């Protein structure tokens, strides 16, 4: 049973065609709930457990699960968009017709069915309406900084895009001890919260006549040590980074059918360009620990929650997302 679900831009990407998956589909992937029942052979979860569904599963057997370097379990449905359970079936129907699952989770529903590898048991005292954000937005952003980029104390960082995920990157950079955290967004209304969560500078590209990466190089002297692309837009990625040892991390889901063209010299000179799925966390292992850290007040989630709506007003939630509120 889904108790609370966040709305993520990736859900909207499906609606607009930016992220391709099978239709008709029940969207939603950032949630928390209570287990109603379990199927035959399920041992790690039992009815009554408080859980978070995992859009990046952890089977524990594939090469990514077995490697210390990876976290994108081969049982994921992100790149494939089959909209089915691992056994090739769907568990949703409407008026006798099959409805597809969304990246193994489908949380915009009162009840969902997930595979055992795609759900994590969490602290029973955790407030589900807050820790649902650990199911995607918070973990994705925070982990991109502390886990994927491994931001070091004293470093300079730039974050492009200050939605829930981008603000979580800001929190991760601060937690990692970055000395300068430059938050970039075309919506200046986002700046107060970015500063509250640790940003030292805020930049609106619309305030300048030159490209924003040139502005950042002027601000820092040589570019930032770490940059984070949290929009799913392809222009600014590499250029904002220090030309020799800068690290640029793609955190936002890139829109389908867009290609990136870049000068190979950007990488030849030593920059690192990398992607980060779900913040690099091994989901089943890490989600319960992140929830425990939240319970120990090691990070906050409240500033990431702008509105709380009843489920019947989900379309109003999407309107708020699209208008940047």
Same domain, 104 and 37: yes
145 belongs to a structural domain: no
The reply to whether 185 falls in a domain is yes
Burial class (CB in 10 A: 0-12, 13-18, 19+), 82: middle
User: Among 60, 224, 28, which Cα is nearest to 137's?
Assistant: 28
Inside any domain, residue 181:
yes
pTM to 2 decimals? 0.95
Assess whether 29 carries a catalytic annotation. yes
pLDDT at position 257 is 62
Indicate if 31 and 67 belong to the same structural domain.
yes
Domain boundary among 235, 253, 275: 275
Contact 79, 73 (CB under 8 A): no
**94 and 8 inside one domain:** yes
Q: Per the domain annotation, does 168 fall within a domain?
A: yes
Q: Judge whether residue 166 has pLDDT over 90.
A: yes
Q: Where among 275, 297, 314 does a domain terminate?
A: 275
Residue 238 confidence (pLDDT) above 70:
no
DSSP state of 70: -
Percent of residues, the chain, with pLDDT higher than 90: 82
Which of 36, 26, 46, 52 shows the shortest CA–CA distance to 130? 52
Position 266 scores a pLDDT of: 81
Domain range for residue 120? 2-137+280-323
Instruction: Indicate which residue of 136, 157, 173, 241 is catalytic.
Output: 136
Burial group, residue 61, by CB count within 10 angstroms (0-12, 13-18, 19+): exposed
Lowest mean pLDDT among 34-48, 111-125, 149-163, 238-252: 238-252
Kindly state whether residues 28 and 58 are assigned to the same domain: yes
- Could you tell me the CATH number of the domain that includes residue 14? 3.90.180.10
**Could you tell me the pLDDT band of residue 180, with boundaries at 50, 70 and 90?**
very high
Answer whether residue 93 is part of any domain: yes
Report, in this order, helix, strand and coil percent for the chain, each rounded to 5.
30, 15, 50
Residues 203 and 77 reside in one and the same domain: no
Q: Which two tokens stand for residue 42?
A: 């399920």
Same domain, 121 and 179: no
62 and 112 belong to one structural domain: yes
Which residue is associated with the tokens 């002297």? 221
Is the residue at 246 inside a domain?
Answer: yes
For the question of residue 173 being annotated catalytic, the response is: no
Residue 101 scores a pLDDT above 90: yes
Kindly state whether residue 258 falls inside one of the protein's structural domains: yes
- Does 318 lie in the same domain as 255? no
* pLDDT tens figures, 125-165: 999 999 999 999 999 999 999 999 999 999 999 999 999 99
Whether 276 has a pLDDT exceeding 90, the answer reads yes
Number of domains the chain is built from: 2
The average pLDDT across 201-224 equals 93
Same domain for 24 and 115, yes or no, is yes
At residue 19, the pLDDT reads 86
Average pLDDT, the chain: 93
> Angle at Cα 298 formed by Cα 297 and Cα 299, nearest 5°?
90
Q: In terms of domains, do 6 and 132 share one?
A: yes
Note if 8 is an active site residue.
yes
Find all residues with CB under 8 Å of 203, minimum gap 6, and list them.
182, 183, 184, 212, 215, 216, 219
pLDDT for 297-318, tens place per residue?
999 999 999 999 999 999 999 9
Is 136 labeled as catalytic in the residue annotation? Answer: yes
**Does 143 reside within a domain?**
no
CATH code (residue 270): 3.40.50.720
Q: What is the pLDDT of residue 152?
A: 97
Considering the domain architecture, whether residues 10 and 64 belong to the same structural domain is answered as yes
C-alpha triplet 126, 307, 104: angle, nearest 5°: 60
Whole-number pLDDT of residue 105: 96
The pLDDT assigned to 79 comes to 78
Residue pair 316/309 in contact (Cβ under 8 Å)? The answer is yes
Q: Are residues 165 and 242 in the same domain?
A: yes
């Amino acid at each position: 049973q889904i108790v609370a679900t966040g709305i993520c831009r990736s859900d909207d990407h499906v609606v607009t065609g930016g992220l391709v998956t099978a239709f008709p589909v029940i969207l939603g992937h950032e949630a928390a709930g209570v287990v109603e029942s379990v199927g035959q052979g399920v041992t790690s979860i039992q009815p009554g457990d408080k859980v978070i569904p995992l859009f990046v599963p952890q089977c524990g057997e594939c090469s990514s699960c077995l490697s210390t370097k990876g976290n994108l379990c081969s049982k994921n449905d992100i790149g494939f968009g089959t909209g089915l359970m691992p056994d090739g079936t769907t568990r949703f129907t409407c008026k006798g017709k099959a409805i597809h699952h969304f990246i193994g989770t489908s949380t915009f529903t009162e009840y969902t069915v997930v595979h055992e590898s795609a759900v994590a048991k969490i602290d029973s005292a955790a407030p589900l309406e807050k820790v649902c954000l650990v199911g995607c937005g918070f973990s994705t952003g925070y982990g991109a900084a502390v886990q994927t980029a491994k931001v070091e104390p004293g470093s300079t960082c730039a974050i492009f895009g200050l939605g829930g995920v981008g603000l979580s990157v800001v929190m991760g950079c601060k937690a990692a001890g970055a000395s300068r955290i430059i938050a970039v967004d075309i919506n200046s209304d986002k700046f107060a919260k970015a500063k509250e969560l640790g940003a030292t500078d805020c930049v609106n590209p619309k305030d300048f006549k030159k490209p924003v990466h040139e502005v950042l190089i002027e601000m820092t002297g040589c570019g930032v040590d770490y940059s984070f692309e949290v929009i799913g837009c392809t222009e600014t990625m590499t250029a904002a980074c220090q030309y020799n040892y800068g690290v640029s991390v793609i955190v936002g889901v890139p829109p389908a059918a867009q290609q990136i063209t870049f000068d190979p010299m950007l990488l030849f000179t030593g920059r690192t360009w990398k992607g980060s799925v779900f913040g690099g966390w091994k989901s089943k292992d890490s989600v319960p620990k992140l929830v425990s850290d939240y319970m120990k007040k090691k990070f906050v989630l409240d500033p990431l929650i702008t509105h709380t709506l009843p489920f019947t007003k989900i379309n109003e939630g999407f309107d708020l997302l699209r208008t940047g509120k």
